[in-house]
Each structure stands twice: as structure tokens, then as C-alpha cells.
Chains A and B, each alone.
Chain A
């Protein structure tokens, strides 16, 4: 069974600093996709960044980047120059062709940004 683990229920970061949120997953598949979603308080969950497992290059979206370590089954999210608007729950998710279109989510990390 596919599982996604986020071992940090809560994290905090000073404004303008960098923070890394961790995510590990368990799979026997070789072709899959990984996602980070952001859910601000009382607001809609939105996609932050996506990584294809067959790509060695780490995905980057502005201040957000990932450190994808396929052998270690690790997919961490780095937020640079943290802003107050980055405060949210962050969920890591996994999907393959073989899971019947199903996504698997971690339990989330609540990020606080300290002014």
C-alpha cells in the first residue's frame, strides 16, 4: 500500500528566512508524481509544486523548490524568503497510473510564519 508520511505536525519560520518541510513516501512503483498542496486558514487548498519521478531535476516555482531523493523516497519542500502569506497547512501527496486515479496524502504540516 502506498503511504505518505509528514513527520512534522508543526513548523515555524521567521519572516524572510528559509524553511524545509519533509515528506517521505512508500511505493514499489517506478513512475509516479508527487505534489505539495497549501491550505491557508479557512481557504481553498491549492497546488504549490509538482515533481515527476522520472525527472532528476528538482522542480522549482519561484520561492518554492523541492529536494527529490528518489532512492530515499523523500520529497521535501523548501520555502525561501518566507512571507506571512506562506502560513498554512502543507500537504504532500502522491499519485501513480496504477492507483486508480487515487491520490495519497500525508497528514500535513502546519507552518507558522513569525513576523
Chain B
């Protein structure tokens, strides 16, 4: 089974801090994704990466950056955390599709609180 591991289930940080959320997958997937999940808004894509050192902005990239130095690891960075970034963050991975039939596999999520 695919395993997507997020480094923390719960995280509390202060405004202005630089925050790192880490995600590791063990299935050699090309694609990795970071989402933000808020009640009533569903999943909103922050960034995704389709290869090492490659990244694409999603729908809400402002205030975030990402890093993918190795294929298995995709990091989300909050450059200067703000209270409106308090949310659940989900990491996902998927293989590169011959067709687009490959599903995403999700981590357990990180519930981030910015005080």
C-alpha cells in the first residue's frame, strides 16, 4: 500500500514564524500535492510538483512556498505565519498518469494553529 507520511498531526506556531510542513511518500510517485482544507471550502490546492525541483502554483499559493529536493519528499513552507493560515493541511501523491485514472493518496493531515 502507498504510504504518505506527514511529519506532524498537530502543530502550534506563532505569527511571524517560518513554518515547515514535511511530507514523504514511499511509492516513487512523480506527483505530489499540498492542499488546505477548511470547513465549507473543501480542498484547495496550494502547490503541486510533478518532478524533483519542479513546482506549479495551485489556487491559493500566496503566503506559501514549497521545496522538492528529492522525489519522495515535498515540503510546504509558510514564510511568515499568519492567523489566517490556521487550517488543516493535506499532502497527497499520485503516479504520473498514462491515463489520468491514477488516484491521489493522502497523508493523515496536519492541523496547524497559528497563535
| Residues of chain A having any CB pair with chain B under 8 Å | 6, 9, 31-33, 35, 37, 43-47, 50, 52, 91, 93, 95-97, 99-103, 105-108
Whether B48 sits at the interface, judged by CB under 8 Å, is: yes
How far, in Å, is A109 (CB) from chain B's closest CB? 10
Question: B residues within 8 A CB of A33?
Answer: 99-101
Question: B residues within 8 A CB of A45?
Answer: 90, 106, 109
Q: Is the CB of B103 within 8 A of A35?
A: yes
| Residues of chain B having any CB pair with chain A under 8 Å | 31, 33, 35, 40-43, 45, 48, 50, 56, 58, 90, 94, 96-97, 99-101, 103-109
Q: Is the CB of B100 within 8 A of A32?
A: yes
Question: B residues within 8 A CB of A101?
Answer: 31, 48, 50, 94, 96-97, 100
- A37 vs B106: C-alpha distance when bound (angstroms): 10
CB pairs A–B below 8 angstroms (18 shown)? A33-B100, A33-B101, A35-B103, A43-B108, A44-B107, A46-B106, A50-B101, A52-B101, A91-B42, A93-B104, A95-B97, A99-B100, A100-B50, A101-B31, A101-B50, A101-B96, A105-B42, A107-B42
- Please give me the residue from chain B that is nearest to A95 by CB atom: B100
Q: Is the CB of B106 within 8 A of A103?
A: no
Q: Is the CB of A102 within 8 A of B106?
A: no
Question: A residues within 8 A CB of B35?
Answer: 105
- A43 vs B107: C-alpha distance when bound (angstroms): 9
Q: Is the CB of B101 within 8 A of A97?
A: no
- A96 vs B101: C-alpha distance when bound (angstroms): 8
Question: B residues within 8 A CB of A44?
Answer: 106-109
Question: A residues within 8 A CB of B100?
Answer: 32-33, 95-97, 99, 101
Closest 9 CB pairs of A and B: A107-B42, A45-B106, A105-B43, A47-B103, A95-B100, A101-B31, A33-B100, A44-B108, A33-B101
